[in-house]
């Protein structure tokens, strides 16, 4: 983890704990002696791909550095029901303060990693890579996109700032594909850093317009059928990086990948994924 990523994670953890704890965990304060020591195990309750271990350790450290943690599994590991990911020992109050945030992070990230892994496996051997999108939970994008990587996927642009993606609304507002591409190229010539341009197209005619004007690196083929996508990829003929998007699921993704497209982007990796079930079970230590 880079220093910038670590700082982002620490800001997130601080804000999340503030949101949850408020002026104190009054349930624990009222029921458990302040100096009670305990141990807890993080237990998997359904099979999947594990993600978020690093973040969980950061949460425990933020709550109390003196907590003793032993890990048995790592990010990217396949896990099954009943397996123990980690144990934590120390102040019961601190363990319970950290519990929900640890689980929220790990369940969400593991769910994304598991879904990504299944989709990547469905197109194994095709050469096509699976991309995420910006359809993420606000302020959790850095965790969700990391989970996609852990699951074997590839990150698309992180935000609006690291790639130009000319979509249908941009094209319509700009007065057409040609105008949009030319303006985007004029704009990036004035930038002090490199940035790629991708254009979304809806039919073969728009592909021909993109190829005619040039000046872009990638083309997104939106809501094409597999047969139409095959024709589109043949028309592009390797001149641009190709990405298919829209209406693609685990059930039909192999049909799309088999036509030779470079990338397939799936918003469902992050916007509607089911969290992986796990729990933190505590016991008092004598």
Instruction: Report yes or no: 97 and 27 within 8 Å, Cβ to Cβ.
Output: no
| pLDDT at position 284 | 59
Q: Summarize pLDDT for 95-138 with one digit per residue, the tens.
A: 999 999 999 999 999 999 999 999 999 999 999 999 999 999 99
pLDDT at 286 over 60: no
Compute the average pLDDT of residues 143-149.
98
Residue carrying structure tokens 């592909």 = 207
Q: Summarize pLDDT for 166-208 with one digit per residue, the tens.
A: 999 999 999 999 999 999 999 999 999 999 999 999 999 999 9
Domain borders along the chain are 3-119+274-284, 125-271
Output the six-digit token pair for 267: 């918003």
Going by their DSSP bridges, the two strands 197-201 and 164-166 should be labelled as parallel
Active site residue 167: yes
Active site residue 222: yes
Reduced to 3 states (helix: H, G, I; strand: E, B; else coil), residue 235 is: helix
The reported pTM is 0.95
Active site residue 146: no
Active site residue 192: no
Other C-beta atoms closer than 10 Å to the C-beta of 66 total 10
Active site residue 132: no
Of 45, 61, 73, 100, catalytic: 100
Of 75, 99, 144, 222, catalytic: 222
Fold of 125-271: TIM Barrel (3.20.20)
Fold of 3-119+274-284: Aldehyde Oxidoreductase; domain 3 (3.90.1170)
Judge if 3-119+274-284 and 125-271 fold alike in CATH terms: no
Output the six-digit token pair for 61: 């450290």
């Amino acid at each position: 983890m880079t220093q910038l990523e670590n700082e982002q994670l620490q800001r997130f953890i601080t804000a999340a704990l503030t949101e949850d704890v408020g002026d104190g965990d009054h349930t624990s304060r009222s029921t458990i002696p302040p100096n009670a020591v305990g141990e807890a195990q993080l237990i998997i309750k359904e099979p999947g791909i594990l993600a978020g271990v690093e973040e969980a350790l950061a949460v425990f450290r933020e709550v109390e550095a003196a907590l003793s943690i032993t890990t048995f599994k790592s990010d990217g590991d396949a896990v099954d029901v009943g397996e123990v990911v980690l144990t934590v020992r120390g102040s019961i109050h601190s363990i319970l303060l950290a519990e929900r945030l640890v689980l929220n992070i790990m369940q969400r990230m593991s769910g994304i990693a598991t879904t990504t892994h299944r989709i990547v496996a469905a197109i194994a051997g095709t050469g096509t890579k699976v991309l995420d999108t910006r359809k993420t939970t606000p302020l959790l994008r850095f965790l969700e996109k990391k989970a996609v990587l852990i699951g074997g996927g590839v990150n698309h642009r992180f935000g609006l700032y690291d790639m130009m993606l000319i979509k249908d609304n941009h094209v319509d507002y700009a007065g057409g594909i040609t105008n949009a591409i030319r303006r985007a190229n004029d704009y990036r010539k004035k930038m002090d850093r490199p940035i790629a341009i991708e254009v979304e197209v809806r039919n073969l005619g728009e592909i021909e317009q993109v190829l005619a004007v040039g000046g872009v690196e990638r083309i997104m083929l939106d809501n094409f059928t597999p047969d139409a996508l095959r024709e589109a990829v043949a028309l592009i003929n390797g001149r641009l990086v190709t990405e298919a998007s829209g209406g693609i699921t685990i059930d039909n993704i192999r049909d799309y990948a088999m036509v030779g497209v470079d990338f397939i982007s799936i918003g469902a990796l992050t916007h509607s994924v089911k969290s992986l079930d796990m729990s933190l079970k505590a016991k008092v230590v004598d």
